[in-house]
Structure formats: structure tokens, C-alpha cells
Amino acid sequence: YLDIPFVSFYISTVASVVAGTIFLMWLGEQVSERGIGNGISIIIAISILSGMPGAIGQALEQSRQGDLNILLLIGIGVLAMAVIAAVVFIERGQRRITVNYAQRQQGRKMMQAQASHLPFKVNMAGVIPAIFASTFLLFPQSLTQWFGQGDPSGFLQSLTLALNPGQPLYVLVFSALIISFCFIWLALTFNTREVADNLKRSGAYIPGIRPGEQTSNYIDSVLARLTVFGSIYLTLICLMPLALINFAGVSFYLGGTSILIIVVVLMDSLFLDALLQ
């Protein structure tokens, strides 16, 4: 028979989670439509920032009680500021490819030859690879919870322990997943052939590169080098909190993904504010 309170608990829990998710999606769309910025990203950033005062207060209380060295606390604060500054610097960085437009006639007007550029961000994939990598690493824990009792060899439990944050295997797999997802995300979201065809149709060309396939290959090579650097940067940012936890023995409130989300959202908000003025 069915345990009615047990079933009603699950039904009400699922209904509450679904309704809350739909409401947040609607709220994010309202924020985006009114030109404030990316609504979902702003909501996530606010959620992260809302926990900072409590975390700072807890750290100060630990320092007052002697559980946390004041010099170590100051060093963590300086390191956090340095990491945020590095994230801002790299996220604003661009690799610009010079593009020349030949003299052409557009309607009744004769357009003169001019030079422009194609801007490419260093971290083209953003924070998505880190989110995907973290999600994949949670999969073994889910398998252990579902099938752990039916695994007499203990393989799933051993794998889960080996993939705990801070373990060597976790660091290795996490880094490999971030780097892989950076390239996969770029391949799925950016079509260099389409960019090359658009340049060719508009009479534009990259100096020293033939229009068409050679332009596409050149952009591919530039993006590949950028993605290598961007994936390493993203990996280091995400592993930095783990290094603090393992070697300094302190818990770092902001993870690498959280830092990236907050910085990118604030930069976008400042950019939109500058456009509106």
C-alpha cells in the first residue's frame, strides 16, 4: 500500500521546486527584457553575494577567538583581491584580428576602403565549462547513493572517495574536464566558416590571408591558441580555493565559479550603465 504522508511529501517537494524554478526563470526574463542585464546571471550573483557578510563575520569571529591567524586572514583577503583583479583583466582582454574592407559601392554611395578588427575574448567559453565539469564529478556520488549497497566490491565507494574535492584524482579529472569542455563549447557555439563567409560577402579580408577557407583556418588557429590559454586560466581560478583549503587549512567562501559569475555580471552591468548614460 502507499504511505500517504510519504507520497504527499514527495509530491509537495517536487511541486515546490518546479514552481520556484519557473518563477525564477520568469523573473530572470523580466530583468533581461527591461535592459538591466542577463537576468538569470544577476539572480545567481545576488544569491552568491548575499552570503558574503555572514562568511566575513564568521571569519572575523574565528580570528577573534584565535582559531584563525589574523595574518592568514589578511593574506586571504589580499589574495582574493588579486584574483578578482586578474579575472577582470583577463575577462576584458581581447585578441583583435585586423580586417580590411576594400572600396565598394553600397547603393548610390561609394564606401571608401577602411580597416576594422574582429575582437575575440580570451575566455570565449565563460564559466560554462567549470559548471559542466563540477556536474560530471557529482555523478559518481549519485551512483554510490543509488547502487552502493549492491556493490560488494566497494568500487563505487572507492571511486567516490578518490573524487572528493582536494584529492589528486579529483584535481586531475576536474582540470581535464574543464579544458575539454572549453574546446567543446567553442566548437558548438562558434562557426569560423560562417564568419569567413560573412567577411567574404562584405568584401572584407584579413591581410595576408586569402578569403574563404584560408580565413576560416586562420581564425580556427587563433581561437585554438586563445582557448588553450583561457582553459588554463579557468582551471587555475577554479582550483585556487581547493589549494587554500588543503594547504592553508581554511575554507574559502567564494569558489572559482562564483568569482567568475560575480565579476562578469558586475562588468556587464557597468557596461550597460555606461551605454545608458
Q: By three-state DSSP, how is residue 4 classified?
A: helix
Domain boundaries, the chain: 68-276
Nearest of 124, 126, 115, 128 to residue 95 by alpha carbon: 124
Among all chains, which residue has been given the C-alpha cell 547603393?
107
pLDDT given for residue 143 in this prediction: 72
Mean pLDDT by 10 residues, the chain (277 residues): 64 89 87 73 81 79 77 80 86 87 66 78 85 83 68 69 80 91 90 88 84 90 92 89 71 71 78 61
Answer whether 169's CB lies under 8 Å from 162's CB.
Answer: yes
Report residue 233 as a C-alpha cell: 586560466
The rounded distance, in Å, linking the Cα atoms of 24 and 157 is 36
User: Considering the entire predicted model, what is its pTM?
Assistant: 0.77
Residue 87 carries which side chain, given as an amino acid letter?
Answer: V
Among all chains, which residue has been given the C-alpha cell 568584401?
203
Report residue 182 as a C-alpha cell: 572549453
Q: By three-state DSSP, how is residue 249 classified?
A: coil
The rounded distance, in Å, linking the Cα atoms of 135 and 93 is 28
The rounded distance, in Å, linking the Cα atoms of 15 and 130 is 29
The DSSP secondary structure of 92-120, one letter per residue, reads H-EEEEEEEE--EEETTEEEPPEEEEEEE
Strand-pair partners of 117 = 98
pLDDT given for residue 105 in this prediction: 60
Report residue 12 as a C-alpha cell: 509537495
pLDDT given for residue 253 in this prediction: 60
The DSSP secondary structure of 13-43, one letter per residue, reads HHHHHHHHHHHHHHHHHHHHHTTSS-HHHHH
Q: Distances in Å between the alpha carbon of 184 and those of 134, 190, 232, 269? A: 16, 10, 15, 28
Q: By three-state DSSP, how is residue 106 classified?
A: strand
Report residue 101 as a C-alpha cell: 574592407
pLDDT given for residue 175 in this prediction: 92
Q: Which residues contact 116 (CB under 8 A, 6 or more apart)?
A: 98, 99, 100, 101, 204
Q: Which residues contact 195 (CB under 8 A, 6 or more apart)?
A: 118, 216, 219
What's the topology of domain 68-276?
Answer: Preprotein translocase SecY subunit (1.10.3370)
Q: What is the DSSP letter of 207?
A: T
Q: Which residues contact 219 (CB under 8 A, 6 or more apart)?
A: 97, 118, 192, 195, 196
